[in-house]
Amino acid sequence: MENIYRFTLEKLKKYCIEKGYKPFKAEQIYDWLYRKRVTSFMEMTNIKKEVREILKKDLTFTQLKVLKIEKDKDVHKYLFELIDKSKVEAVLMFHDYGNSLCISTQVGCNMGCTFCESGRLKKVRNLNIEEMVLQYLQIEKLEKKKITHVVLMGIGEPFDNYENVITFIHILNEGKGIGLGSRHITVSTCGIIPKIENFIEDGKQVNLAISLHAPTDELRTKIMPINKAYPLKELMKVLQKYIQKTNRRLTFEYIMLQGVNDTKKCAYELVNLVKNMNCYINLIPYNETSHIDYKKSSSDSILAFYDILKKEHIQVTIRKEFGSKVSAACGQLRANYEEGK
């Protein structure tokens, strides 16, 4: 049996046609799934009972088990257990512009970034499409609040689970279903160049963010092993191609690590790297964890770094800090749960 939440509207139409139903039947089912949010075929009362019985026989619903919720003023962090007992996190952040959900795309991560809690417990597997869809649906139901933005920046490297992630984005974006606008969806990658090339060709109008975190190959390779395979010169070349082809502004994420990448020298090197690009830099105060030795840059260091970028006419923001009372680092809630058992 295949999970109903794996289906795009087009795939569901093909299924209906194969069963001898009109394609409109798929739109009815999609309406029940994503507008009315039912969780069984028997609740789809405008569909004939014999059709519902066939749907029930062919397709299945699942739900994720909520193991733990941690709450702070502007953030709620969820720990989910999947059907195979794996654990993933999702984080809902309350901004002045709306409610943004950070979704996981993998169980663990193999990218090996030295500052990241997610990668300390290595990749177990990719998330299936429905496991991403259900993070969105279940949190929206539990919170009784509309999720207005989705970012794929949770546990895992989204472009290491490329096909499932693209299908998930398609489901989020479907106007007859969830209907979340492309500009309200952001996918983040550490820089897997072949997948960025695919992303350009796929023509998705969602936002692209690059986990940069260092302005030179020497430093980036020390803290992000992916840079050995895809060094900055090659990465910047494909990103210029992305900007030219899509005419979209690019985001560079830059976690501020005390004494590592937060010096004035690093700031000027970053200016040289991104100047003349249609981009902005998002400076992110580091969330410290007991398992990793990196420390958060001081407020003075972050502001000095910010000022240099501003004076050099680089668009830059400092991300608001979330979750001082929760396991704030990406993957920290999962790691604490797994290792505390």
Based on the residue annotation, tell me whether 89 is a catalytic residue of this protein: yes
Dihedral over Cα of 147, 64, 110, 292: its sign: positive
C-alpha distances in angstroms, 155 versus 117, 121, 122, 198, 336?
A: 9, 10, 10, 22, 14
Output the pLDDT for position 284: 96
Which of 115-129, 268-282, 314-328 has the largest mean confidence? 268-282
Assigned CATH topology for domain 65-340? TIM Barrel (3.20.20)
pLDDT value of residue 73:
87
What is the predicted pLDDT for the residue at 332? 56
Residues 6+ apart with CB under 8 A from 118: 108, 109, 154, 155, 156, 330, 331
Question: In this predicted model, what pLDDT tens digit does every residue of 233-247 receive, in sequence order?
Answer: 999 999 999 999 999
Q: Where are the domains of the chain?
A: 2-60, 65-340
Q: Which of 16, 190, 266, 330 is catalytic?
A: 330
Convert the pLDDT of each residue in 72-94 to its tens digit. Answer: 989 999 999 999 999 999 999 99
CB 131 within 8 A of CB 164: no
The model's pTM: 0.93
Catalytic residue among 70, 89, 117, 157: 89
CATH class of the domain whose range is 2-60: mainly alpha
Round to whole Å and give the CA distance between 60 and 327: 33
Tokens of 297: 């840059």
DSSP per-residue letters across 309-334: HHHTT--EEEPPP--TTS--STTHHH
Active site residue 330: yes
pLDDT tens-digit readout, 276-322: 999 999 999 998 887 788 999 999 999 999 999 999 999 999 998 76
Helix (H, G, I), strand (E, B) or coil at 60: strand
Q: For residue 255, is pLDDT > 80?
A: yes
Region 258-287 average pLDDT: 97
- Is it true that 2-60 and 65-340 share their CATH fold? no
- 184, two tokens: 């309200």
